[in-house]
Homo-oligomer: A and B are copies of this chain.
Amino acid sequence: MKTRRDFIQQVALTAAAVPLLRLPAIAHPLREESQLRVAFMGLGGYANRVADAMKDCTKARITGAISGTPSKLSDWQQRFNIPAANCYNYENFDKIKDNPDIDVVYVTTPNGLHHSQVLRIAAAGKHVICEKPMALNAREGQEMVDACKKAGVQLLIGYRMHFEPKTLAINNMRNSGVFGKVKFFQGQCGFTIGDPTQWRLNKELAGGGSIMDIGIYAINGSRYMTGEDPIWVTAQEVKTDPVKFKPGVDETIMFEMGFPSGAVASCLSTYSMNYLDRFYLIGEKGFAELQPSTGYGPIKGRTHLGELTQPHKTHQTVQMDEMADIILRGKKPVIPVNGEEGVKDLKIIDAIYAAVKSGKKETLHLG
């Protein structure tokens, strides 16, 4: 890898030195041989997890970093062999547009920052991978989709489960009719959140509480497990610790959805329980269970036909290799991971919060 990486880096640097040869972002997409060159924006826990997982990537590698903390930048430079020239802070990262060594920026900052940051990345002509939720609400999300479209860059959402082998196996089985007509989906996602001072419990930065962080897995899962988009949602919120969970930061929300086929979903999102990470799909002819369904470790799955045996691969490794193929070579993923999908999830989140307030069934138009 070292030689190959050095070679590519050298080519890139050469390109940077010869502006006439430089291709605009819009023209990057269909490189056949090269790796996807990724800069991380926001060097927190999750960025570190993805970056570590990328050590095993064959199609993607880290070439840049953006952070407001100089010590984090120097740490990353060392750990991931990132040239100082490819490091930016939040004031100057628009200059990334002049850096041919970076294809895509992976945004792992707090939710509330995604919108403005993605607009700036798009304006810099770079592709974007944005962690979920892509924004605080669907309006912001749509603006991000529109901005990326206008700039001619791709916008992908960090849906790592969309590439997970057992999840994909169930998806394929459902498409082949193994479960018959889908009737019901259950998604239960949550954990007991720690440090009360973290940004995830700050309304301004997180945009909400558990739903934004972990409930979104059940929301998104309800769509890729059933293969449908919901048409209505109801929701009930319960708060047992109003000190830890300030106004606008949900602790526990149950929500239910209806789908065009008549299938229904019953979901749980919580920041105050452990022992739950389960997807359960019922069809007329069988069932599928994923438990754990979304954790970082190995996913376990079974259906009415038996245990699923697809070997575990680190989700983020597979995700980044697959996203390289999507961005560079136009590969179409089995389950879409584009910005439009992120907006759909946000429309559901908007409706869940609306349903909590109204106490009524909210109609969904995911388009």
**A residues with CB within 8 A of B:** 183-184, 186, 188, 234, 236, 238, 240, 252, 254, 256, 258, 262, 264, 266, 268, 270, 272-276, 282, 284, 286-287, 304, 359-361
Contact = CB atoms under 8 A, between A and B. Distances in A.
A273 to B, nearest CB: 5
B234 A273 contact: no
A261 to B, nearest CB: 8
A290 B313 CA distance: 31
A186 B304 CA distance: 21
B266 A238 contact: no
A304 B287 contact: no
Given A274-B282, A359-B361, 4 more contacts: A186-B188, A236-B258, A236-B361, A266-B268
Grouping DSSP codes into helix (H, G, I), strand (E, B) and loop, the A interface class, with mixed when no group exceeds half, is: strand
Contacts of A258: 236, 238
Given A256-B236, A359-B360, A361-B236, A276 B266 contact: no
A238 B256 CA distance: 11
A287 B275 contact: yes
A174 to B, nearest CB: 14
Given A275-B304, A286-B275, A360-B360, A238 B254 contact: no
A225 B282 CA distance: 24
A180 to B, nearest CB: 10
A282 B191 CA distance: 11
A266 B266 contact: yes
A359 B234 CA distance: 9
Contact of A254 (B266, B284, B304): B266
State the number of copies, please: 2
Nearest to A268: B266
Nearest to A275: B287
Contacts of A268: 184, 186, 266
23 contacts: A183-B252, A183-B270, A184-B268, A184-B270, A184-B276, A186-B186, A236-B258, A238-B258, A238-B262, A238-B264, A254-B266, A256-B256, A266-B266, A273-B284, A274-B282, A275-B282, A275-B286, A275-B287, A275-B304, A276-B282, A359-B360, A359-B361, A360-B360
Contacts of A183: 252, 270, 272-273
Contacts of A188: 186
Contacts of A270: 183-184
A264 B275 contact: no
Contacts of A276: 184, 282, 287
A236 B254 contact: no
Nearest to A238: B264
B273 A282 contact: yes
A283 to B, nearest CB: 8
A125 to B, nearest CB: 46
A285 to B, nearest CB: 9
A262 B284 CA distance: 35
A262 B236 contact: no
